[in-house]
Amino acid sequence: MGSSNSSVNNIPNAQELMQETGFSAAHILRLHERFEFLDKHKCGQLRPQDFGAVQELALNPIGDSIISAFFSPGQETVDFASFVRILAHFRPTDRNQSRDGAQQEPANSSIRKLKFAFQMYDQDRDGKISRAELLQVLRAMLGIQVTEEQLQSIAERAIQEADLDRDDAISFDEFRKSLEKVDIDHKMSIRFLR
């Protein structure tokens, strides 16, 4: 795809983004097209309302959390670079990657993926998933089909199981430990992004 290279250059900071996230030129192009599709007002930034164009997100129980994950705390818009950086977390892990110590951990490593998921639970960014935050997620996923009492029992059970230092909240390490049997590289990767 030689021609795409020239159009990639139309995108600001394309080379930098490719370097940082590991996406190929074709991917950056595709993501840019998608970004422009969502950006109805053509202002180069996305607002939460713009994500409404994706109809399936409305049916998703945690759709709102996903949308807000794209926006850094306090910010109301997201530009293309941040959009790509978030999506870079879902690139399949490169097993054979060799990094020198100075380089930052790549966005699609297992740890970064887990961190992204953790931050979606931990809305107030205090580094721990409190009982209330867990309840919020459970409520979103299980909806109205379940009584409050059942939700409480499940949340209680979950914290009891995972909380090793007995501080009544789940820290990142405890979160990681409870998911050690799950193949994160496989579970949190999209084939489309290679």
Q: Which residues bind another protein (CB under 8 A)?
A: 31, 34, 37-38, 51, 54, 56-57, 59-63, 66, 87, 90, 92, 95, 117, 120-121, 137-138, 141-143, 145-147, 149-150, 152-154, 156-158, 160-162, 175, 178-179, 181-183, 185-193
CB of 101 to another protein, least distance (A): 26
* Bridge-based pairing state of the strands 45-46 and 78-79: antiparallel
Residue closer to another protein by CB (options 81, 162) is 162
**DSSP-derived 3-state class of residue 175:** helix
CB of 180 to another protein, least distance (A): 9
For 158, other C-beta atoms within 10 Å of its C-beta total 17
**DSSP-derived 3-state class of residue 21:** helix
Q: Which of 84, 86, 82, 112 is nearest to 97 (CA)?
A: 112
CB of 20 to another protein, least distance (A): 18
User: To which residue do tokens 């979950």 refer?
Assistant: 158
Residue closer to another protein by CB (options 6, 170) is 170
Q: What are phi and psi of 78, to 5 degrees?
A: -130, 130
CB of 64 to another protein, least distance (A): 10
Q: Which of 125, 131, 46 is nearest to 80 (CA)?
A: 46
Residue closer to another protein by CB (options 81, 120) is 120
Residue closer to another protein by CB (options 8, 78) is 78
Q: What tokens were used for 74?
A: 């306090």
